[in-house]
Amino acid sequence: MQSWKNKNVFVTGSTGFVGSHMVQELLRLGANVTALVRKPRFDNRINFVKGSLDDFEVIKKALEEFEIDTVFHIAALAVVGEARLNPIAAFETNIRGTWNVLEACRQSSVKRVIVTSSEKVYGDSVVPPYVESMPLQGRHPYDVSKSCADLIAYTYFHTYQLPVCIVRCGNLFGGGDLNFTRIIPETIQSLIKNRVPVIRSDGSSARDFFYIEDGVHAHLLVAEEMESSPIAGEAFHFSYEKPQSVLEVVDQIRKLMNSDLVPIIQNQTSHDSNIQYLSAQKARDVLGWKPVYSFESGLNKTIEWYQKYLEDHVG
């Protein structure tokens, strides 16, 4: 890794699952971190800027005041079901929020911008594995909001030569994800509490699960390569390239936790497409990327984190 020591870095979404892991790794690497937050916080290692993605002037002022070199735009309304129930909030946060960040970067002296995206940008109609050259054609509110955000990022590169790259990871999982409606944290929590796990779908839909620490390293790798390679304006996928069904994931968690509790399959949800996963060939070829973890090793670390967390917070 190139040195992040004393680099001035701005992070949106710093209190969320992905953003908090990014901030901790940047601090470990010696970066000067500035974080956009809605509520005042105290941590003398971080420059907190009170505001939201709505606050263009606040973002621009922060980029200039702290002489930001690199921006990680991670903040998003990221819960698919919540976006479906409140599409305006998804569009305001994910679309307007992205153009506010990118326009502030354009008007400042930022050297690199990394936008966190999703495999959902491709919609339901293309056949996986998804590659970066496929058209962006989301159909549902969250998917559309991320498709639009990525197109805006491309616009800022092609029209204004803003040095921006897009990172799309598989479904990120790991310690610190407190959204217990997601299948991995929900199942682990159920088994720790000796409750039968519940699968709301029929369990057949397959996703590309990707451990959070590999996701953070992927973002950092793209930023580092932007300093020495002409990759600005590009998108990169990061994935284990082994889609697994919800039922397979639950069974693996049960096996690792030595549980004989058989899941209840409710078969209630129907709007998810059956299989979604990314090809990471471009990242391997262009960036020389390879993952540090496997799905199983990441899952083991995740289980350990939740066991400690629930022990500390629930007793």
**Which residues carry out catalysis?**
142
3-state SS string for the chain: CCCCCCCEEEEECCCCHHHHHHHHHHHHCCCEEEEEECCCCCCCCEEEEECCCCCHHHHHHHHHHCCCCEEEECCCCCCHHHHHHCHHHHHHHHHHHHHHHHHHHHCCCCCEEEEECCHHHHCCCCCCCECCCCCCCCCCHHHHHHHHHHHHHHHHHHHHCCCEEEEEECEEECCCCCCCCCHHHHHHHHHHCCCCCEECCCCCCEECEEEHHHHHHHHHHHHHHHHHCCCCCCEEEECCCCCEEHHHHHHHHHHHCCCCCCCEECCCCCCCCCECCECCHHHHHHHCCCCCCCHHHHHHHHHHHHHHHHHHHCC
> 276 phi and psi, to 5 degrees?
-140, 125
